[in-house]
Amino acid sequence: MAQSTLPEQSEKYVQKLNLLRDNLSGVIRGKSESIDMMMVALLSNGSVLMEDVPGTGKTTLAKALARSLDVPFNRVQFTPDLLPTDILGSSIYNPVDGTFHFRQGPIFCNILLADEINRASPRTQSALLEAMSESQATIEGVRYELPSPFFVLATQNPVDFHGTYPLPEAQLDRFLIHLQLGYPDAENEMEILFAQSTEHPVDHLERVLNHEEVVQMQEQVKTVHVEQSVARYMIDLVQATRNDPRLKLGVSPRGSLMLFRASQAIAYLKSRTYVLPDDVQQMADYVLAHRLILTSKAKYSSITKMDVVSDIVSKVKVPN
C-alpha cells in the first residue's frame, strides 16, 4: 500500500511549486488550470504546444516560467526561411588556425520558446523532434546532450493559415500537453489592464526554484505509485481511441506513457504519493486529444477531438 502523504523533502518542493503557481498566476490571470498543466509538463519532463489567437499571453507565460526558475531561456521566432542550423547550431570556420569550431544554437538552453512553430518548413520543425524525445541533438554526426531540465514551449496561431505548415502527426505526438489559453473573462481582463498600466508584472518576478530542484522533482514524480487497476484504466482509454469509428488514428504507445507520467505529475502537484482515476480523467483531454485524427465524416459532423475524448472517458469503466 502506498503511503498517503509525501516525504518532508517532497512537501518542501510542493510548497515551492505553490510559489511558482503564484508567480505565474500573477502574470497570467484567470488561467489556473492552464498554469497547472504547464507545471505538470515541467514535472513530467515533457513539452507543451499552445494553440491560441495572438495576444492571449503565450509568450508571457513562457517568460514568466523561465524567470521563476532562473534558468537559461531562448526564444526562436519561426519563419518560412528558418533553417535547422538556426536552431541547432553549426560549425564556424576560423581562418586564423584553419579549424572549425561548433557554435551552439538557441536549442542549448533549459526553456525554449518556439514561437509560431507552424510557420517554419517541415524540415526545420523536425529539428526539434530528437531534442523533444531524447533531450539531445545530433549535429553534423556528433551527438550533444542538452541541458537538464529541457522544456519546449511551442506556440501556433489557429486563425492565420497563410504561409504555414501544419505540424505532422509524428511531431504532435511528441508534445506531452496541448493547451488553449483562450480569452480572459471581463473581470480578469480588467485586472490585467491595471496590473500592466505602468510596468509588466513579469519584470518583478523572483526565482522560486533552481534547475537542480526541478530535476529532483522530476525524479520524485517517477516514484508516485500507480495501482495496476489504474494503469489498466489508462490502457482501456487508449484502446478505446484505437477502436472508435470516429477516429482514423488513435493514441500511440508513446501517448500511453505520457498519460502515465502526466497522471503521476498531477498527483504529485496535489501532494499525493499515488494516482487516482480522477487524475487520469483530468489529464485525458490535455494529453490524448491532440494525438487523434478524426475521420472525414466526423470532421464534417462538427465533432472535435476533445468531444471524442470526453465521450470515451464517460463510457470506459472506472476502477473501484
DSSP state letter for 128: G
Report the DSSP beta bridge partners of residue 94.
99
In this prediction, the residues of the chain whose per-residue pLDDT falls under 50 are: 1
Question: Residue 70 has which C-alpha cell?
Answer: 532562473
Nearest to 266 by CA among 174, 137, 150, 176: 176
How confident is the model at residue 287, as a pLDDT? Answer: 96
Dist. CA 132–CA 154, nearest whole Å = 11
CATH code at 128?
3.40.50.300
pLDDT in tens, 113-155: 998 898 888 888 888 888 888 888 888 888 999 998 899 999 8
Query: Distances in Å between the alpha carbon of 205 and those of 25, 27, 30, 216?
Result: 11, 9, 18, 23
- The answer to whether residues 242 and 133 belong to one domain is no
Dist. CA 56–CA 301, nearest whole Å = 29
- The answer to whether residues 250 and 165 belong to one domain is no
How confident is the model at residue 197, as a pLDDT? Answer: 66
- The answer to whether residues 162 and 216 belong to one domain is yes
Write the CB contacts of 120 (distance below 8 Å, at least 6 apart in sequence). 78, 79, 80, 82, 165
How confident is the model at residue 2, as a pLDDT? Answer: 55
How confident is the model at residue 239, as a pLDDT? Answer: 96
Supply the range of the domain harboring residue 96: 1-199+207-220
- The answer to whether residues 178 and 39 belong to one domain is yes
Q: Coil, helix or strand for 101?
A: strand
- The answer to whether residues 3 and 80 belong to one domain is yes
How confident is the model at residue 67, as a pLDDT? Answer: 86
Q: What does the buried/exposed string (b/e) look like for 152-179 if buried means 16 or more CB atoms within 10 Å of the residue's CB?
A: bbbbbbeeeeeebbebeeebebbbbbbb
Q: Which of 161, 185, 220 is the last residue of a domain?
A: 220
Q: Is 94 exposed, middle or buried (0-12, 13-18, 19+ CB in 10 A)?
A: exposed
- In sign, the C-alpha dihedral spanning 4, 273, 262, 288 is negative
- The answer to whether residues 233 and 192 belong to one domain is no
In a domain, residue 319? The reply is: no
